[in-house]
Chain A
Amino acid sequence: MSQSHRLMNGGRIDRSKQIDFYFNGRLMSGYEGDTLASALLANGVNLIGRSFKYHRPRGIVTAGTEEPNALVQLERGSRTISNMLATRIPLYEGLDASSVNCWPSPSYDVMAVNGLFHRLLPAGFYYKTFMWPVSGWKVYEHFIRRAAGLGKSPEEPDADTYDKMNAHADVVIIGAGPSGLSAARAAAATGARVILVDEQTELGGQLLNETFEIDEKPAADWVADVEGELMANPDVTILKHTTAFGYYDHNFIGLLQNRSDNVAYGEDGRTRQRVWRVRAKRVILATGAIERPLIYSDNDRPGCMLASALRAYVNRYGVTPGKRHVIFTNNDDAYRSALDLKSAGAVVACVVDVRKDPSGELVSRAIEAGIEVIDNSAITGVLGSKKIRGIEIMKLTDDGENVTGKPRTISCDTIGSSGGWNPVVHLHSHSAGKNTWRDEDGVFVPGDTLQAEAACGAANGSFSLAQALNEGDFAGIDACSKLGMTAKKRPAVGKATADVDETPWRTLWYIPTTKPAGQRGKHFLDQQNDVTVADVQLAAREGYRSVEHAKRYTTLGMATDQGKTGNIPGHAILSAALGQTIPQTGTTTFRPPYSPVTMGALAGRAVGEFFDPIRRTPMHDWHEQAGCLWEDVSQWRRPWYYPLEGESMQDAVSRECLAVRNSVGMLDATTLGKIDIQGPDAAEFLNRMYTNAWLKLAPGKCRYGLMLGEDGMVMDDGVTSCLGENHYLMTTTSGGAPRVLAWLEEWLQTEWPDLKVYLTSVTEQFATLQLAGPNARDLLSEFTSDIDLDPEAFPFMSWKDGTVGGIPARVYRISFTGELSYEINVPASCGLSLWTDIMNAGEKYGITPFGTETMHVLRAEKGFIIVGQETDGTVTPIDLGMDWIVSKKKPDFIGKRSLSREDTIRDDRKHLVGLKTADPAEVLPEGGQIVAATRPEPPMDMIGHVTSSYWSAALDQSIAMALVKNGRNRKGDTVYVPMKDKTIACEIVDPIFYDPEGSRMNG
């Protein structure tokens, strides 16, 4: 396909480097230096997609980040990215883009029928739909789901990598247009560390789109000179193709850098994008301005563009957007577009100016160039839908609120409108800066801020080139002088050649037709979300007086472009409808990100194996070779169960359970948290933290403890041993260790700094081998000669030091399985060899390694709780039936007072009970809801839920624990667990199913 709209000469493109690309499967070509948008326009394509709500045909509006319409799906498969702006994609060989939100194609779209039913889709359509009766939802759900969303998410893992960088700077300058470059030059001359950021691939900002001269030379030469100067300075970092997406407290800035020229692919060995986290001493916002459109009837037709975009395509890309152009303006600046088009040889049908007798220098030049200027007039209609055929214009009344006289039709295919410029105050607003309304030209400019920040140039509402150059210079000097840095020799400030004075704008927020808004064409404010003037007026009539509410109701400015072009006109329309001024209405708050940021960039390297660290025990490789399946317990990876060939999970777990109950099994218990507690006040400290008494625990003894929050709810549990005078070892749950350590530290540091207690985490210093089962003692005796294993000498809940297998060891006789059990702690580095030796020696007993699942079954048979499974932060020890561990004698401990609060002593609290299913073979689902009486269908009154449920091989029946309202007083009652396809009846029983006397673990 030929580049029908490409000029023979001009532009910053390289005509010697042709680039082929695909749009909607069609092969086209452009040149190096093009964006996808400029290449499409060069090929005469300006039907890019369909709009969100009405599916109206849409084309390219702008040449930059403010683009509302030209969204494409870039690439396919693992590299596909949705909602990319065609105006921001540098063209590359083989680029493959397609339209979003239309099917089967943008020129024939089946959902366009929505446009015919627009009266059914008014402002607040979604809110109103959600408030309709449930039956209405069934009708509309299908419609809404199909219509919702732009583009498609990738369905495959991202093929590229991303990373992050931290940086510090004296001065960060955002925007490398004339003001930003001036500021960078001035700041760099002081020796300051400067970071200069610009979202475009080249420095120069708006200068790239203009025909300006600086210091009697083309502006591009000045830009190149300044860039060379800055590049030579080692203290200056220039980040091109990098967007400052967020500006946060204490001068912290988030930058998104595109590291590859090719925006969809990482380059060899490079990350595709990088997020920079920058802390700046001073920030200079040189973010420029965005042209605002005039809001005329059917201003969304493909070919309705911004005036500045027309000259950007001509000057920068050597492309004429159309064959016959009309400029529609309220200011002098838009005449530059008419002049630039004309001098490039393009046809300018006319300039339609809403002002009476415009008289500026640029106007005169246009008239001299032979361009027809039609004053005091408005575009009242756009002819054509997929392509503009012409416009209809009428004279404005004096107040600008109506049109009058006979309409005139002008043939054209492209309209460039300009309603003036809005400073880009977004970043200033991110960091809580206020915006000030400037009445003379109707713009918000940056006002007070909390940050060490200044704005300059167009971002500061100073729109001329001379102002930009001078303000930038001042901002650079001022920022550095505030840091105590001055330049020995000040660089020269660029001087704008032949800067022209411009005459005032005529602010006209709404361009009237012969009918009220919405009755003759649509006046679009937010083209991406399809919000019209009529929608905003409707919101005002329906009582939405706050701009923040009106925004959410109409969705004005809530699309991915955040209303960069349409917000201010929208707020002006709302103000008019409410009969108040724009500053009275105010603006909505801009929030990060300034433009969309990929999830990949935010995640950085924290994906896959780097998502979260994995903690492995010293015996990890043995478990892996034994073919275990893994369970993640916080960051720990623990063996879940060890299936043999052909075994199901239940087969394996039952086999492991029976091995422990009948002979001996071994569990890797290394992950249990271990906190070494030392100091003269250690016992007193434990006494305050645990619910039971600790002052009299003798060295050599172990005690189970329950820890509560100050609200009386169970927080953690574990066994703590007295290792010597003033020396204890606390164990915690595997997942709770960091939290418990932090909790203990908090009390010591903030409430009881007088207590002499020192805490050290020693979890990873020891490997812990838990040997459990009736043969545990016999097997262990083969490995130790210096530890007396006789039950009299080494009873339950005590510990002994000695050697096991020749390795220094501390053996605790404690049990979570209800069997005779020893926990052997050895230095971590010896864990694997001892584990292997014991496994080998235990073969004669049929020793069986067991995982967390078997451990859970065995402890549930004993009615032992797991914190976080039987408890959920709303459960007291009394609820658990563990009042035996709550001291009645201690005057105080953490959480004690809360146990006598009105709410915690209610008698209908949920209690921990056991459940026995009517059919012993039926295993209840964990989390199953429990009711006292069933009804044919929900809702039913729930009285509790199943917390743990297993098949018990030892008992040959299912077992379960549950929290049930007033459960302890319902023993023997039948309750029900209703399921989708059946109801399971069960009896409330005691939660201890196995060996209630404890003779096995005590034996």
Chain B
Amino acid sequence: MFLITCPFCGEREESEFSYGHEAHIARPENPEKLSDAEWADYLFMRKNTKGVHLERWVHTAGCRRWFNAARNTHTNEILAIYKMGEQPPKEIKAMIEKGKTS
């Protein structure tokens, strides 16, 4: 049971939120130009990260607004919360980069 800080409402129980899978997956600009495999990749494929994962949440039982979170899926530590359209903080990017190389 996580304690999640909604960027609009503040700290709330996880039960108020819904999970919205991996973040930063943009809908392709021109789907018709994609091959079946490329479209399937957008449609079905999501990362299954052990470590820092960028994901979307929505405050379903609150302000109903979407936002992004960086969560360590191993420890369930929520490392950063940032709004839709924003990029994760630099230090989070650095952590993900480091995770890749190690």
A896 part of interface (Cβ distance < 8 Å): yes
A704 part of interface (Cβ distance < 8 Å): no
Contact of A897 among B2, B34, B56, B77 (CB under 8 A): B34
Q: A250-B1, A450-B77 are in contact. Are A901 and B31 (CB under 8 A)?
A: no
Q: Is the CB of B20 within 8 A of A746?
A: yes
Docked pose: A745 CA to B60 CA in angstroms: 11
Q: Is the CB of B1 within 8 A of A252?
A: yes
**What 1/0 flags go to B44-56 for Cβ under 8 Å of A?**
0000000000001
Closest to B26 in A: A751
Q: Which chain B positions have C-beta within 8 A of A749? A: 65-66, 84
CB distance from B36 to the nearest CB of A (A): 5
Q: A749-B84, A891-B32 are in contact. Are A250 and B3 (CB under 8 A)?
A: yes
Which residues in window 1-19 of B have CB below 8 A to A?
1-3, 13
Which residues in window 250-279 of A have CB below 8 A to B?
250, 252, 277, 279
Closest to B65 in A: A749
Count of chain B residues with a beta carbon within 8 Å of a chain A beta carbon: 26
Closest to B34 in A: A897
CB distance from B78 to the nearest CB of A (A): 8
Interface majority SS (helix, strand, loop, mixed), chain A: mixed
Q: Is the CB of A750 within 8 A of B84?
A: yes
Q: Is the CB of B31 within 8 A of A742?
A: no
Q: Is the CB of A249 within 8 A of B39?
A: no
A248 part of interface (Cβ distance < 8 Å): yes
A803 part of interface (Cβ distance < 8 Å): no
Q: Which chain B positions have C-beta within 8 A of A901? A: 36, 39-40
Q: A746-B20, A892-B32 are in contact. Are A710 and B43 (CB under 8 A)?
A: yes
**What 1/0 flags go to B22-40 for Cβ under 8 Å of A?**
0000110011101010011
Q: A450-B76, A745-B64, A897-B31 are in contact. Are A249 and B85 (CB under 8 A)?
A: no
Contact of A742 among B3, B13, B60 (CB under 8 A): B60
Q: Which chain B positions have C-beta within 8 A of A902? A: 36
Q: Is the CB of A249 within 8 A of B43?
A: no
Docked pose: A891 CA to B29 CA in angstroms: 11
B102 part of interface (Cβ distance < 8 Å): no
B96 part of interface (Cβ distance < 8 Å): no
CB distance from A508 to the nearest CB of B (A): 38
Q: Which chain A positions have C-beta within 8 A of B66? A: 745-746, 749-750
Q: Which chain B positions have C-beta within 8 A of A891? A: 32
- Kindly name the residue among B36, B75, B84 whose own CB sees the greatest number of chain A CB atoms within 10 A: B36
Closest to A248 in B: B1
B92 part of interface (Cβ distance < 8 Å): no
Docked pose: A749 CA to B76 CA in angstroms: 25
Q: Is the CB of B43 within 8 A of A711?
A: yes
Docked pose: A249 CA to B40 CA in angstroms: 34
CB distance from B23 to the nearest CB of A (A): 9
Q: Is the CB of A249 within 8 A of B84?
A: no
CB distance from B26 to the nearest CB of A (A): 8
Closest to A746 in B: B66
CB distance from B89 to the nearest CB of A (A): 19
A374 part of interface (Cβ distance < 8 Å): no
Docked pose: A901 CA to B34 CA in angstroms: 11
Q: Which chain B positions have C-beta within 8 A of A450? A: 75-77
B80 part of interface (Cβ distance < 8 Å): no
A867 part of interface (Cβ distance < 8 Å): no
A432 part of interface (Cβ distance < 8 Å): yes
Docked pose: A750 CA to B20 CA in angstroms: 10
List 9 tightest A-B contacts by C-beta distance, closest first: A897-B31, A252-B1, A250-B3, A749-B66, A249-B76, A248-B1, A450-B75, A750-B66, A897-B39
> Given known contacts A279-B3, A746-B66, what 13 new A-B pairs fall within 8 Å (CB)?
A250-B2, A277-B1, A279-B13, A450-B75, A710-B43, A711-B43, A749-B66, A751-B26, A892-B32, A896-B31, A896-B32, A897-B32, A898-B39
* Chain A to chain B contacts (Cβ below 8 Å), 24 pairs: A248-B1, A249-B2, A250-B3, A252-B3, A279-B3, A279-B13, A450-B75, A742-B58, A742-B60, A742-B64, A745-B64, A746-B20, A746-B66, A749-B65, A749-B66, A750-B20, A751-B27, A891-B32, A892-B30, A897-B31, A897-B32, A897-B39, A898-B39, A902-B36
